[in-house]
A and B are shown apart, each in its own frame.
Chain A
Amino acid sequence: MLVLTRKKNESIVIDENIEICVIEISGDQVRLGIKAPKSASIHRKEVFEEIQEENRQAAAAIDPSKLMGF
């Protein structure tokens, strides 16, 4: 992993078309601004992990008769 130090209002640029700017630093929270083409999908890592976990739960065996009558 590449590690860079940035101050408030400083940016990094990835691949010439994605810019990530440090907007605000407050305690252990950092607000990031992201400029990217509409085609780039950007997600908090925990959202993707949550979806993985939800899918694992969805794969658990169930009693199909519970679904009847709706």
Chain B
Amino acid sequence: MKINTKYFSEIEIADDDVYRFPEGIPGFENEKEFVIIYNEDKKSPFQWLQSVINSNLAFVAIDPFSIIPEYEVEVPDDEVEMLGIHDITDVSLLAIVVVPDDFSKISANLLAPIIMNTKNHLAKQITMNTNKYKIRQYIIDELRTRGGQD
């Protein structure tokens, strides 16, 4: 099917590309279907999370491991069950990114990552009970280090 997107006009997606968020996303509780638009630049850590229904809703997202290789996520038992996760290798993670006018203040929500089951395509933004990560974790230093290594 074809969908309209916020940043890439119209794109073609398969039904299998759609991730279902049964509870929506905090702040957007009615938005239950998203697709990941992968960056054309394969080296880029940034991807896009585009609402299927609402063309004007898209988030910049980042693989948390691409900026913090030792990133750790603990998924509570009930979320594991709700997402139907049976194998850790079926889990994929994204952190939602805020890109402010002052780019040096770019941040990722590492406290509340999006957990995706790549097998059944169920997903949810969960909140971890930890003070190791922040909702607004500044990532410019990690990005620059990455950029320097490429």
Contacts and interface: CB of A to CB of B under 8 A. Distances in A.
Size range of the interface on A? 20 to 34
B60 A62 contact: yes
B133 to A, nearest CB: 12
Interface in B10-36: 25-28
Contacts of A47: 111, 127, 135
Interface residues of B, number: 38
Contacts of A56: 27
A38 interface: yes
A52 B125 CA distance: 11
Contact of B78 (A41, A54, A69): A41
Nearest to B25: A55
A67 B44 contact: yes
A11 B78 CA distance: 25
Nearest to A63: B99
Given A39-B77, A70-B146, A55 B127 contact: no
A27 interface: no
Contacts of B7: 64
User: Which residue, of A42, A58, A70, has the highest number of chain B Cβ atoms within 10 A?
Assistant: A70
Interface of A: 38-43, 47-48, 50-59, 61-62, 64, 66-70
